Homo-oligomer: A and B are copies of this chain.
Amino acid sequence: MAIPDDKVKTAVDGRRGERAEHIYRAAAEIMCQKGYEATSMKDIADAVGLTKAGIYHYIVGKEDLLFQIMSFAMDMVDENVVAPARKIADPEQRLRTIIERHARRILELGGAITVILEEMAALTPAHRKAIRARKRRYFDLVRETIVELQAQGKLRDVDPTVAAFALFGMINWISRWYRPAGKLTAGEVMDDFLEIALNAVLRNA
């Protein structure tokens, strides 16, 4: 029996998707080390074992690659953080889930992609607008969750926007300092981190 066309397409997309993800991660690592501007397409091709011609099968150029990496990062946020969080009615549990899932991805998968998410100046205006809107939607989810906690009397006496940015700062900064080969395991950091982040904003976490 022939495999239905849509199945074939999914399988091919899957392989291509994995390959693309591999390129995004490798490119993000190099861009982190060398800086975005100083990274060449050849650096990226070398890192993933493709010829310079081969890599253009996956990406049309460096700015487009940067946009693809950022879009991939926001896809991961939507899938692994935002979607599960939106299913949780209780705002305290929702906030805990957001912090834990976001921090865990950085701790376990490395922070290069998180760092690259800040290279907004290198995007074209249209791409920048698109990524900014996606970041904004995530921020709004966190802020709205904090506003719900405020209504329940659980938020410290602070502005919800300041609280939300403090949490984003703590979480995103993990990408700057955590090294899996260092003294602390991802699990140890995760436990301490939840204790710190929840107590930062909640009266009785």
Which A residues are closer than 8 A to B by beta carbons? 32-38, 118-119, 121-122, 156-159, 161-163, 165-166, 168-174, 176-178, 183-184, 188-189, 192-193, 195-197, 199-201
CB distance from A116 to the nearest CB of B (A): 12
CB distance from A103 to the nearest CB of B (A): 11
Q: What are the 7 closest A-B residue pairs judged by CB atoms, nearest first?
A: A169-B173, A37-B37, A200-B200, A158-B192, A35-B121, A162-B192, A169-B170
Is B35 within 8 A of A38, CB to CB? no
Is B192 within 8 A of A159, CB to CB? yes
Report whether over half of chain A's contact residues are helix, strand or loop; otherwise say mixed: helix
Is B200 within 8 A of A196, CB to CB? yes
Is B166 within 8 A of A184, CB to CB? no
Could you say which of B32, B163, B188, B189 contacts A196, with CB atoms under 8 Å apart?
A: B163
Q: A184 to chain B: which residues have CB within 8 Å? A: 159, 161-162
Additional pairs, 5, CB under 8 Å, beyond known A118-B176, A163-B196, A165-B178: A35-B119, A37-B37, A38-B122, A162-B188, A169-B171
CB distance from A47 to the nearest CB of B (A): 16
Q: A119 to chain B: which residues have CB within 8 Å? A: 35
Please report the C-alpha to C-alpha distance between residue A195 and residue B157 in the assembled complex, in whole angstroms. 8
Please report the C-alpha to C-alpha distance between residue A157 and residue B118 in the assembled complex, in whole angstroms. 32
Please report the C-alpha to C-alpha distance between residue A11 and residue B42 in the assembled complex, in whole angstroms. 51
Could you say which of B36, B195, B200 contacts A35, with CB atoms under 8 Å apart?
A: B36
Please report the C-alpha to C-alpha distance between residue A166 and residue B36 in the assembled complex, in whole angstroms. 26
Q: A171 to chain B: which residues have CB within 8 Å? A: 169
Q: A32 to chain B: which residues have CB within 8 Å? A: 121
Could you say which of B38, B159, B177, B199 contacts A199, with CB atoms under 8 Å apart?
A: B199
Is A189 within 8 A of B162, CB to CB? yes
A-B contact pairs, 20 of them (CB 8 A): A32-B121, A35-B36, A35-B119, A37-B37, A37-B38, A38-B121, A38-B122, A156-B199, A157-B195, A159-B188, A159-B189, A162-B188, A163-B192, A165-B177, A166-B170, A166-B197, A168-B173, A169-B170, A170-B173, A196-B201
